[in-house]
Structures are given as C-alpha cells and as structure tokens.
Amino acid sequence: MSCNCPLSSEICTRQSENRKCLLAAVEQGSDDVLQYLFETLKVGTMEDICRIRNEQGKSFLMVCVEYCRGDILQYALDRMQDRNARRHVLDDTDQNGNTAL
C-alpha cells in the first residue's frame, strides 16, 4: 500500500488511495488518529488528517480523504468506541507550542 506522504503539506489526491490510507490508519487503531476522526466527525469537516507511523516509528501527516465519507467515519467512530481506552492526545504540543495534529 503506497500511501505514505512525506510531509504534512503533501496531499494524497487519488480517492481510492486516500480511502486505503484512512482504512489502514483506522486499522492500526492509533488513539490520536481515532480521536482526531471523532473530532472531525463532530464538526463536520470535509478533510481528515491522519497520523500514520511506519515500521521505524516515524510519523507522517497526510490528508487521507478530501471528501468525508460517512461510512468511513462511522467505522472509525465504532472502532474508537470499542477500544474504551481513548487518550486525549490532542493537547500534545511540540517545542513551538503547536498541537501534534
């Protein structure tokens, strides 16, 4: 699956690839990914930014879905509710005081 965008400024524009990337991120079950998707679902944003980690543990930020499909978001929300171990990582900040997401 070739869905790693090198930097947060990179945008994956192919719909099919975007859907694969989002599903892969959700399947990994990262709390920060699921929490962000949950927040996105509540505000109705049309873009989802997903944090995906590769085998070396490096983080990649990417726009996974330009059109916010309801079934994908619902799947993410269901996974998030099933985990019952959510961490609020949206308040994590980098050295510049910016949020991690």
Q: What is the pLDDT of residues 21-78, one digit of tens each?
A: 556 656 665 666 656 655 655 533 334 444 444 443 434 333 344 344 555 556 666 6
Which one is predicted more confidently, 74 or 18?
Answer: 74
Has residue 52 been placed in a domain? Answer: yes
Has residue 6 been placed in a domain? Answer: no
pLDDT, position 20: 61
pTM here is 0.24
How many helices and strands, by DSSP H and E, does the chain display? 3, 2
Has residue 64 been placed in a domain? Answer: yes
Has residue 21 been placed in a domain? Answer: yes
pLDDT, position 77: 62
Has residue 90 been placed in a domain? Answer: no
pLDDT average, residue stretch 81-98: 49
Has residue 61 been placed in a domain? Answer: yes
Range of the domain at 55: 15-83
Has residue 69 been placed in a domain? Answer: yes
Has residue 28 been placed in a domain? Answer: yes
When divided into structural domains, the chain yields a total of 1
Rounded to whole angstroms, the Cα distance separating 55 from 58 reads 8
